[in-house]
Amino acid sequence: MSNVDPNTPSAVAAGWYPDPSGAAGLRWWDGARWTEHTQAHAPAAPLAAQPAAQPQYGQQQYGQQQYAAQPGHAAQPGYTSPAPFAAQAAQPLAPIPADAPVYGPFIWIITLLPAISLLLLPLSLSGVQSAMNSAFVDAYSGSSGYGSTSLQLQLTEAAMNIASLLIYAAGVVLAFFDRRWLIRRGIVPAFHWAFAFIPAPVYPIGRSLQVRRRSGRGIAPMWVAIGLFALSFIIGIAVFIWVMNLMFGMMGSIDPSLGYTGT
């Protein structure tokens, strides 16, 4: 008589079940295999609860049986059902020592990089007034408008654009090294350096909040970055107002009969 794989214990309770060979009567299932014990009529006692999947009888191979019909598949020895994902406890992170450094050189350079742009601002404004004078003179004199002053302004703008690009690239590279600096000191998870591609002050703020969450310290770069950002915003508004006043003043010095007389 063919039996279910003896190495696969069954979760189906032992009891009398309809003979799987098709013969009339019942056959005894001992919890692991079909036995030779049969009986023609049902016993007086109530039968064990009929399993959802009756053990298969005959020459059907283990690999061909339906998953739910394999007796005891869920109770195989040595098999441990994995706990649900939500029930798996997160591994606790190692505590950060109280004397562990949280301020590295990279984060301070990244935080102070916008100050370089503020220091270069007078250079970009140095030729604005003369360039605007030249533009008004050229407009009323009929000249080409590409005098030496305009060329100087173009060179200044090109230098400022190159400086801004270098500052931006330096911030991204330094953020990469700053993250490695944090990981080497056990401050994980560290804020990802790719956030430095977003203009300041995103990386200093995110990095400071992440470090403070892990160590209770390290928030200072965030406040410095926010302060520089606010200062840059105020200076930008002031420069805009200055340029507008300068332009309106030049427009007010235009004589309808003589043209632009200069300031």
Q: What is the pLDDT of residues 178-196, one digit of tens each?
A: 999 999 988 888 999 999 9
* pLDDT value at 18 more than 80: yes
CA distance 207 to 205: 5
**Stretch among 45-49, 130-134, 254-258 having the lowest mean pLDDT:** 45-49
Write out the two tokens for 30: 């001992």
Cβ-contact 175, 195 below 8 angstroms? yes
154 vs 193, more confident: 193
Q: How far is CA 174 from CA 182, 203, 233, in A?
A: 12, 11, 24
Mean pLDDT of the chain: 75
Number of alpha carbons in the 13 Å side-chain half-sphere of residue 215: 23
pLDDT range class, residue 11, cuts 50, 70, 90: low
Mean of pLDDT values over 68-78: 44
Quick one: pLDDT band at residue 21, thresholds 50, 70, 90? confident
CB atoms within 10 A of CB 85: 6
Main-chain phi, psi angles of 224, to 5 degrees: -65, -45
More confident position, 143 or 104: 104
Rg (CA), the chain: 41
Output the pLDDT for position 218. Answer: 93
On the CB side of 195, how many CA atoms lie within 13 Å of its CA? 16
- pLDDT over 60 (residue 7): no
pLDDT for position 12: 77
* Between residues 239 and 127, the one the model is more confident about: 239
pLDDT of residue 158: 87
What are the tens digits of pLDDT across the range 198-228?
987 999 999 999 999 988 999 999 999 999 9
Encoding tokens for residue 23? 């013969």
Whether 25 has a pLDDT exceeding 90, the answer reads no
| Region 217-245 average pLDDT | 94
- What does the DSSP assignment read for 13-27? PPEEEE-TTS-SSEE
* Cα–Cα distance for residue pair 35/23, rounded to 1 Å: 14
- What span, in angstroms and rounded, lies between the C-alpha atoms of 251 and 26? 110
Here the contacts of 136-143 (C-beta below 8 Å, separation 24 or greater) are 136/250, 136/254, 136/260, 136/262, 137/260, 137/262, 139/260, 140/254, 140/259, 140/260, 141/259
Is the pTM higher than 0.75?
no
Q: How far is CA 124 from CA 77, 137, 157, in A?
A: 77, 21, 7
| pLDDT confidence of residue 182 | 93
Q: Does residue 90 register a pLDDT over 80?
A: no
The whole-number pLDDT of residue 140 equals 59
**What is the structure's pLDDT at 6?**
44
* Residue 137: per-residue pLDDT: 63
- Provide the Cα torsion 228, 229, 232, 233; round to 10°: -150
